[in-house]
Homo-oligomer: A and B are copies of this chain.
Amino acid sequence: MDYTEKKLSSREIYNGRIIRVHVDEVELADGSRSCREIVDHHGGVAVLPVDAEGYAYCVRQYRYAYGQSLLEVPAGKLEPGERPEDCALRELSEETGYEAERLVPLGWLYPSPGYCSEVLYLFLATGLRPGRAHLDPGEFLDVERHSLSELEEMILRDEIHDAKTVTAVWRAGRYLAGEEASGCRAEC
């Protein structure tokens, strides 16, 4: 069924550095009216770098919204006009120092579709060459190296909660398992 909601009016509440908030009056599918509180965000990129030995590099950083440090895949906001692939390589290099020969797209994610319009593009990065991290001013994080299966176990033990990290770990694991299987088939 078509339950499209029609915008009747929009009131901007806040236009900040990383989010814009507006409240829209909408007409619902049955003709009644309601309002939608919406958080807009430029969109972002998350990139899981996996080396030739199957180890992934994640970052542990303090997240003020939760008052705790979280383990996450390297990620960052899209600059205006920036392609997700370029943003992925830039953030990877800034946060971990690694350059990547190859980016594999792992789809995109809607973090909280009830009130947020952010789109997060996910990538797997392989063919890694070490380099020097160069964090933005005010950015503090530690890089951690874990095998993909270790990250999967951490998710299943409820030690990793970040949505983009869960999705990237799962999809990267599936992609690499498929590659390995097809390589094995080609050899046999």
Q: Which of A78-86, A88-96, A126-134, A136-144 sits within the interface? A: A136-144
Asked whether A108 lies within 8 Å of B4 as measured between CB atoms, the reply is no
Query: Are B108's CB and A112's CB within 8 A?
Result: no
Copies in the complex: 2
Q: Which of A1-40 contact B (CB under 8 A)?
A: 1, 3-5, 13-14, 16-19, 21, 23-24, 26, 28-30, 32, 34-39
Using CB atoms and an 8 Å cutoff, list the residues of chain A in contact with chain B: 1, 3-5, 13-14, 16-19, 21, 23-24, 26, 28-30, 32, 34-39, 41, 44, 61-66, 69-70, 72, 77, 107-118, 120, 137-138, 140-142, 155-156, 158, 161-164, 166-167, 170-171, 174
Extra contacts besides A32-B137, A65-B116, A66-B117 (15): CB < 8 Å: A3-B141, A13-B14, A18-B37, A18-B115, A32-B138, A63-B113, A65-B115, A107-B156, A108-B158, A108-B161, A109-B161, A109-B166, A112-B118, A113-B162, A167-B167
